[in-house]
Every structure is written in C-alpha cells, then in structure tokens.
Amino acid sequence: MSATLKPYLNAVRSTLTAVMCLENFSSQIVERHNKPEVEVRSSKELLLTPVIVSRNEKEKVLIEGSVNSMRISISIKQADEIEKILCHKFMRFMMMRADNFFILRRKPVEGYDISFLITNFHTEQMYKHKLVDFIVQFMEDIDKEISEMKLTVNARARICSEEFLKNF
C-alpha cells in the first residue's frame, strides 16, 4: 500500500464506522413501510450531512447517511482513456451481478463509478466491522485490478503489433 493511500483509506474507514450506527425506522409518511431514507429522502431531519473523503480530484468517496441506511459512492482513479474504458467495463460487469452482492447498487450516484447501499437489515445480518473492511478492501483492490488489466492490455497490444509488423 502506498504512503498516500493508507491515510486515505484510514479516513474512509473511520468515517464509515461513525456513520454505520443504523437502526430500524419505519416511514413517517406511509404506514408499514420501511424504505432506505438515504434513497427516498422524504424527511430532511432523518438525513445526515453527506461527507466527501477525497484523495485527489478524481479519487473520492461520498458517504451519505441516514437513520436507517447509508450510501457509499466511490469515484475511482482514471488517469487515461484505457483506464476509463477498463473501469467502466469492470463496474458494468459488477453492477449486472448486483443481486449476488447484497450491498451493491445497480446504478451509481451521478459523478461516481460505483455505489453501495447498506441498510439496517444488512447491519443486523452481517458484522458492521466486516462491512467496513469489505468496502475498504474493495477500494484497495480495485486500483490493483485496473492496473493489472491495463498492463495485460498493453502487453497484448505490443505482441499483436509486433506480429503485424513482422510482415513489413
């Protein structure tokens, strides 16, 4: 882990831990409904102030909390066009399988690459510290995965161009 990544991930971890105090809260508008307030936004008094933890302009995390849910939106570093394409394809691949990832949203928040939604039901069924560890580990591994994919694409392009240019 790089020297600049560790404080960034520690800040994200401590913010997630602080926001993760979720409890069961029924809707104030519709009887017998329990929807994530961070998504519905029906009552301002139930929402916490959104927090943005930023490493730089392109790499940031938006953490929105409410009384019964929290939404984590992650913007991943994309230095060049290849990284943008790889990131988009990888995130699309994951979001198509959102049913298998219980906390993954199918559509990210505008301006971010991927979003997670954690409700009070998730925190009742799973360990809170494990959810935080998963998000932080995901952020750590996604950079490695995209870098590895970029190296593989570049190596493959180099081999293809060498084979093509052997004929000339």
56-113 residue pLDDT tens: 999 999 999 999 999 999 999 999 999 999 999 999 999 999 999 899 999 999 999 9
Distance CA 26, CA 39 (A): 14
Cα atoms in the 13 Å half-sphere on the side-chain side of 153: 11
- Give just the sign of the alpha carbon dihedral 151, 152, 155, 157: negative
Mean pLDDT of 107-134: 95
Distance CA 19, CA 117 (A): 12
Mean pLDDT of 112-131: 95
Look at residue 1 and tell me whether its pLDDT is greater than 80: no
Mean pLDDT of 123-142: 95
CA distances from 13 to 71, 125, 136 (A): 14, 20, 7
Percent of the chain with pLDDT over 90: 85
134 or 168, greater pLDDT: 134
Percent of the chain with pLDDT over 70: 99
Give the per-residue pLDDT at 22. Answer: 94
Give the per-residue pLDDT at 32. Answer: 80
Give the per-residue pLDDT at 14. Answer: 97
Distance CA 68, CA 47 (A): 9
61 or 2, greater pLDDT: 61
| pTM, to two decimals | 0.91
Look at residue 17 and tell me whether its pLDDT is greater than 90: yes
